[in-house]
Amino acid sequence: MKSPEPVAVIGAGILGACVGWNLSRLGAQAIFVDAGQPGEGVTNWSFSWVNASNKTVRRSYFDLNVAGMAAYRELADAIGPGSWWHPSGHLRWADDPAQLLETADLLARWDYRVELRTGAEVRRHLEPGLAIPDEVPVAFYPDEAWVHGRRLVSRLVRGAGAEHRFGMAVLGIDADGSGWTVSLTDGTRLQVAAVVNAAGPSASHIAGLISRHLPMRREPGVVTRVSCPRAPVQRAMHAPHVEIRPDGNDSVVLHSREVDALIGEDPAALAGRLQEAARYVVPELGDSRIAQTRVVERPIPIDGFPSVGAGPSAPGYYEAVSHSGITLGPVIGRLLASEIVTGERSELLADFRPERFL
Ligand SMILES: Cc1cc2nc3c(=O)[nH]c(=O)nc-3n(C[C@H](O)[C@H](O)[C@H](O)COP(=O)(O)OP(=O)(O)OC[C@H]3O[C@@H](n4cnc5c(N)ncnc54)[C@H](O)[C@@H]3O)c2cc1C
């Protein structure tokens, strides 16, 4: 692609924002398009934990997530850390510690930093507000982090300095010889050299507009924000039955796979379950107030892995679709922008290319 020709980035969540920001850095002209406002999709309803410790299912996927963690540190150097970046590590403990210790051991063999502590040590040195048994083993992952997704997206979109169309959905994408015409709900027609499908849970629909079948899973999650006089935890953590992280000075985010399994119940009841599980771990959360709850779809291709790169048999069509998109956004953004501008395909993405779905 010749760099001055525009690239329409469809979706300004974490993935689209990272692709667009990197395109601008490489001198390409990005145009962000979003049906809503930047960062207000799944990115705003994520647990937002930056990690590779939960990605041991396949070595190449683990390696991509480790690269994602490194890309965050580079991004924080490039744009400044501000209020979006929280590299405070991550804590995990479990009712049955055997699996936790086995995973910690595997990760240590893969040169991933993990420190084993006791509950008492964690309370003394890291999180005084936890009700955690003294002797329980806790894995502390010092290189992990959490990010404030919406704030990061807004920094990247502003930093890209690119044209944008927000509050307008893409209705059609038509090949027009040398490129694509992207039609929006207000009647605008954008002539572009390339399109990036970064539409999160709607990526399958966007792919369908060019007659591509991108099979995706249905795997909803429920996230609750509680407000409290001051956040009683300093970092993200997986306790038994609930995940907890700060979301600012007076707000905490709660999530649990066990509560996800109950989606279908009234969301207020789901939020109550999350709050109840959390106050058991952090008693101070007993004084919190449920502020917002949302059930959202995870953007997951059918085999559970990202779909990133040039689409098969549609020159100028690219995908950036992934679960773990918070962790992977900066590395996917860098690699995909480079592929769009130079045509070079990174080995890191070899197992995650769109052509596996034909
Ligand atoms: C409960 C839960 C917990 C999670 N926890 C983590 C975690 O701890 N760590 C981690 O790394 N990942 C986590 N994830 C996954 C991560 O949040 C997502 O992978 C990531 O936010 C996806 O970002 P995105 O940019 O692809 O999607 P989105 O943020 O949803 O952005 C897509 C954008 O596309 C726009 N759009 C859609 N259709 C159209 C259209 N037709 N026209 C124009 N625009 C359109 C939408 O408005 C939206 O803004 C979690 C997800 C969930 C649901």
Residues 35-68 have pLDDT tens digits of: 999 999 999 999 999 999 999 999 999 999 999 9
Look at the block and give the residue holding tokens 């559970």.
304
Is 13 close to ligand 1, i.e. is its CB under 6 Å away?
Answer: yes
Give the pLDDT confidence score for residue 5 in this predicted structure.
79
Residue 68 CB less than 6 A away from ligand 1: no
Nearest CA to ligand 1 atom 2: 46
Q: Averaged over 174-203, what is the pLDDT?
A: 96
Q: What is the pLDDT of residue 4?
A: 54
| Alpha carbon distances (Å) from 197 to 32, 139, 227, 243, 285 | 11, 37, 35, 30, 39
Rounded distance between C-alpha atoms, residue 224 and residue 201, angstroms: 19
Three-class SS of residue 249? coil
How wide is the angle at C-alpha 149 spanned by C-alphas 241 and 300, nearest 5°? 65
Nearest-Å Rg of the Cα atoms of the chain is: 21
Binning pLDDT at 50, 70 and 90, where does residue 96 land?
confident
The conformation of residue 345, written as its DSSP 8-state character, comes to P
Rounded to whole angstroms, the maximal C-alpha distance in the chain is 67
Per-residue pLDDT, 313: 84
Protein residue whose Cα sits closest to atom 17 of ligand 1: 46
Q: Over 70: is that where the pLDDT of 135 sits?
A: yes
Decide whether any atom of ligand 1 lies within 6 Å of the 55 Cβ.
no
Q: Does 144 sit in the ligand 1 pocket, CB within 6 Å?
A: no
What pLDDT score does 178 carry? 84
Residue nearest to atom 5 of ligand 1 (CA): 47
The reply to whether ligand 1 has any atom less than 6 angstroms from the CB of 47 is yes
The finding on whether 224 has its CB within 6 A of some atom of ligand 1 is no
How many A from CA of 285 to the centre of ligand 1? 27
Q: What does the alpha-carbon distance between residue 307 and residue 95 come to, in Å, rounded to a whole number?
A: 35
C-beta of 35 in contact with ligand 1 (< 6 A): yes
3-class SS of residue 350: helix
Is the CB of 319 inside a 6 Å radius of any atom of ligand 1?
no
Report how far residue 199's alpha carbon sits from residue 191's, in angstroms, rounded to the nearest whole number.
Answer: 19
Strand order, beta sheet including 145-147: 49-50, 145-147, 85-86
Q: Which long-range contacts (CB under 8 A, 24 or more apart) does 310-313 make?
A: 310/339, 310/345, 310/354, 311/197, 311/207, 311/210, 311/212, 311/354, 311/355, 312/354, 312/355, 312/358
- 17 CA: nearest ligand 1 atom: 25
CA–CA separation, 4 and 27 (whole Å) = 7
Check pLDDT > 60 for residue 111: yes
**pLDDT at position 2, please?**
44
Q: Kindly state if the Cβ of 305 falls inside 6 Å of ligand 1.
A: no
Distance CA 12, CA 156 (A): 10
Ligand 1 centroid from CA 223, angstroms: 13
pLDDT band at 250 (very low <50, low <70, confident <90, very high): very high
- For 172, residues 6+ apart whose C-beta sits below 8 A from its C-beta are 181, 182, 183, 209
Q: Which atom of ligand 1 is nearest to the CA of 49?
A: 8
Count of residues making up the chain: 358
